[in-house]
Amino acid sequence: MALDRDQIREQLIKCLLQMSSVKNLPPIDEQTNPMWKLGLDSHDGVNLACKLTAELNCEVPVDVNPLVDDKRNRPRRIGEIVDLICALAAKEGAQRT
């Protein structure tokens, strides 16, 4: 069964909270920048990709860092990461059929 967008967002936030060492975390919403608000850096993107692959059963390609938008040369916000994972899951689902 494919996960919906809300389930993907919940799992993403769970993974990010596990990775963050920030005390007294601010509220997390679609606009939250995990690199700025949760104290993560681009190297944490590799760990996040592995966690998301395991938790969501959706392959995050090795050349994709969920925390960084290389095309725009800036960090991704929560909503953008969710959109990325949704797109990857849809693509992966289409290839299975």
* DSSP letter assigned to residue 24: S
The total number of structural domains that make up the chain = 1
CB 53 within 8 A of CB 82: no
State the CATH number of the domain containing residue 72. Answer: 1.10.1200
Phi, psi (degrees; rounded to nearest 5) at 32: -65, 135
pTM of the predicted model over 0.85: yes
Tokens of 38: 């949760």
pLDDT at 3: 79
Tokens of 7: 């389930």
What average pLDDT values come out for the chain (97 residues) when binned by 10 residues? 86 95 90 95 94 91 93 96 94 69
pLDDT at 26: 82
Range of the domain at 49: 5-16+30-96
